């Protein structure tokens, strides 16, 4: 067992160092630190990569910064490459935390901070798992490479760059989901629904959410009335990952329903674009979580039921834009679902923009890599839980023979993408032990 070789205090300190860096992607609209040369995703993410590589250098690993798009650290020898894919970017922190989101404070035995589960805590665990494997004296017959992604929460430009310019592993895992191991991931369809009009309206506004893949925990609206006054409404919700919208409380839906009720009084003087978006939201989205009113409540036995999340809404003088994130069962293709969505939005004069689809993955559970990961998990925990599928997206989609592996244990509620994201320190140490065993299984 590898437990005796895990440097627990250094592991915790490394996770804290990473969490204290606000590594939100720069979007040109006030989110994230600005870009610079060598930092295509913003200064904050570049600092997180520098920090991770510095930690790995101190641990004795070979390191490389891939022009700011990604980075890696490596140990072991051999022709074959085992990859462990993590990411250092995070979603925006949101509001109303009990403790500072970038404070990396420990309270009641748990480490708090944006990214502690998704994915900086697991990144630190992977670093110290590899160090434990090296210190244990086992012979690594493969090179083990920790690949640090930097754009996982957004556009995956990091993986696009890495795939074009760096060596690909023959197998691996990504610690960015659930234990014991994930063999299937839903397709992900994201798009903007846009309502446009000719007349400008600089007085009315609706704003809510930070990211499409997060259930929004706030939304506000200020709508001009015919008497010149403003009707204002604000709502708080509860953030959650878009793949599990039932764990959140969508603040945009609350505000849009309030606006729909008020609109019936007949004294709105806002733009036609805003009015059409309000009507559409009430008729076709509402508080449904599976696209029921849209006509796309689909499911299969392989990966389950489609989920629908309204993540961000913004209005400008002549338009209203709603960003949607859908997790789609593996049995249904993009074209079929888009046809349903297009038919639903056309009567309201809305158009689809910025459509993006990430193909689902579905693997054979008898894969040697899956069996090795399962063996490592069970040898440490004694838990006989079976592999499963998820609605989330991991780097397992980027490379062949790579599977999502932890860090969330069966039956544990995960707080990623939510306020007060936290992870028990004891679990961080246990996760590291599991990953060290997985390296032994896969690289010797």
How does pLDDT run across 128-163, given as a tens digit for each residue? Answer: 999 999 999 999 999 999 999 999 998 899 999 999
pTM, entire model: 0.83
> pLDDT tier at 391 (50, 70, 90 boundaries)?
confident
Residue 36 has pLDDT above 80, yes or no: no
Percent of the chain with pLDDT over 90: 89
Q: Which residue has the tokens 């989609």?
A: 397
Contact (Cβ atoms closer than 8 angstroms) between residue 211 and residue 153: yes
Which uninterrupted H or E stretch holds 415? none
Residue 351, token pair as written in the block: 């158009």
DSSP character for 306?
A: -
Give the helix, strand, coil percentages of the chain, each rounded to 5.
Answer: 30, 25, 40
Listing from the earlier edge strand, what are the strands of the sheet with 110-112?
106-107, 110-112, 422-424
DSSP E strand boundaries for 337-406: 351-358, 361-362, 388-390, 402-404
The runs of H, that is alpha helices, within 116-227 are 120-135, 157-165
Residues forming the active site: 89, 152
Tokens at residue 95, please? 């509001």
Report angle CA 407, 364, 78 to the nearest 5 degrees. Answer: 70
| In contact, 114 and 90? CB cutoff 8 Å | yes
Check residue 3 and give its pLDDT. Answer: 85
**Cα separations (Å) of 436 from 138, 208, 441?**
11, 42, 9
What 3-state class would DSSP assign to 174? strand
The string over 259-280, giving b where at least 16 C-beta atoms fall within 10 Å of a residue's C-beta and e elsewhere, is bbebbeeeebbbbbbbbbbbbb
Q: What are phi and psi of 361, to 5 degrees?
A: -130, 150
* DSSP-assigned states of every residue in 113-132: STTTTTTHHHHHHHHHHHHH
Name the β-bridge partners of 74: 62, 145
Q: What is the DSSP letter of 39?
A: B
The pLDDT of residue 29 is 60
DSSP letter assigned to residue 42: -
The pLDDT of residue 116 is 98
- What integer pLDDT is reported at residue 30 of this predicted model? 55
Rounded Cα distance between 172 and 288, Å, is: 37
Q: With bands split at pLDDT 50, 70 and 90, how would you rate the model's confidence at 9?
A: very high
CA angle 58, 156, 409 (to 5 degrees): 65
Partners of residue 361 on adjacent β-strands = 185
Is the pLDDT higher at 1 or at 102?
102
In the chain, domain spans: 3-186+361-443, 187-358
Nearest residue to 373 via CA among 171, 92, 201, 159: 171
pLDDT of 33 > 70? The answer is no
Average pLDDT, the chain: 95
Phi, psi angles (nearest 5°) of residue 275: -60, -45
Give the confidence band of 94 by pLDDT, cuts at 50, 70, 90.
Answer: confident
Judged on CB neighbours under 10 Å (0-12, 13-18, 19+), 244 is: buried
Superfamily of domain 3-186+361-443 in the CATH hierarchy: Zn peptidases (3.40.630.10)
pLDDT score of 2 more than 80: no
Q: How many residues does the chain have?
A: 444
Average pLDDT, integer, range 330-359 = 94
**Token pair belonging to 368:** 């040697």
Could you give the percent of the chain with pLDDT greater than 70?
98
**Alpha-carbon distances of 132 from 3, 129, 375, 425, 436, rounded to whole Å:** 8, 5, 18, 18, 6
pLDDT tens sequence across 289-336: 999 999 999 999 999 999 999 999 999 999 999 999 999 999 999 999
Q: With b meaning 16 or more CB within 10 Å and e meaning fewer, what string describes 387-411?
A: bbbbbbbbbbbbbebbbbbbbbbee
Section 347-368 average pLDDT: 93
11 Cβ neighbours under 8 A, 6+ residues apart:
124, 125, 127, 128, 428, 429, 432
In this prediction, residues 399-413 reach a mean pLDDT of 94
Q: Are 119 and 48 in contact (CB under 8 A)?
A: no
pLDDT at 26: 81
């Amino acid at each position: 067992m590898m437990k005796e070789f895990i440097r627990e205090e250094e592991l915790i300190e490394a996770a804290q160092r990473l969490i204290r860096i606000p590594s939100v992607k720069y979007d040109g609209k006030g989110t994230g630190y600005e870009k610079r040369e060598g930092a295509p995703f913003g200064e904050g993410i570049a600092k997180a990569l520098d920090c991770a590589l510095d930690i790995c250098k101190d641990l004795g690993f070979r390191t490389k910064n891939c022009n700011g798009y990604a980075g890696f650290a490596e140990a072991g020898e051999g022709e074959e490459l085992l990859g462990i894919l993590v990411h250092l970017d995070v979603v925006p922190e949101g509001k109303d935390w009990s403790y500072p989101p970038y404070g990396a404070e420990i309270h009641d035995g748990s480490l708090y901070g944006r990214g502690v589960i998704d994915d900086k805590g697991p990144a630190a665990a992977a670093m110290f798992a590899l160090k434990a494997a090296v210190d244990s004296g086992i012979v690594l017959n493969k090179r083990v490479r920790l690949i640090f992604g930097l754009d996982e929460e957004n556009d995956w430009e990091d993986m696009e760059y890495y795939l074009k310019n760096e060596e690909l592993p023959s197998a691996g895992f990504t610690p960015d989901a659930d234990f014991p191991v994930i063999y299937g991931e839903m397709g992900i369809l994201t798009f903007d629904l846009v309502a446009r009009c000719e007349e400008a309206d600089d007085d009315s506004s609706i704003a809510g959410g930070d990211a499409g893949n997060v259930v929004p925990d706030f939304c506000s609206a200020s709508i001009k009335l015919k008497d010149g006054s403003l009707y204002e409404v604000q709502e708080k919700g509860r953030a959650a990952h878009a793949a599990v919208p039932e764990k959140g409380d969508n603040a945009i839906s609350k505000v849009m329903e309030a606006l729909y009720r008020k609109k019936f009084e007949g004294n709105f003087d806002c733009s036609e674009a805003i009015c059409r978006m309000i009507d559409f939201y009430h008729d076709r989205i509402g508080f449904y979580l599976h696209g029921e009113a849209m006509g796309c409540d689909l499911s299969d036995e392989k990966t389950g039921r489609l989920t629908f999340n309204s993540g961000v809404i913004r209005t400008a003088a002549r338009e209203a834009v709603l960003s949607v994130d859908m997790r789609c069962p593996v049995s249904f293709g993009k074209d079929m679902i888009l046809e349903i969505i297009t038919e639903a939005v056309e009567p309201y004069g809305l158009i689809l923009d910025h459509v993006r689809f990430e193909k689902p993955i579905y693997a054979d559970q008898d894969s040697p890599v899956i069996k090795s990961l399962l063996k490592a998990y069970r040898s440490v925990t004694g838990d006989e839980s079976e592999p499963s599928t998820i609605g989330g997206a991991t780097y397992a989609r980027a490379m062949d023979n790579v599977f999502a592996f932890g860090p969330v244990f069966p039956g544990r509620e995960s707080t990623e993408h939510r306020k007060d994201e936290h992870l028990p320190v004891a679990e961080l140490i246990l996760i590291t032990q599991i990953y060290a065993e997985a390296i032994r299984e896969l690289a010797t």
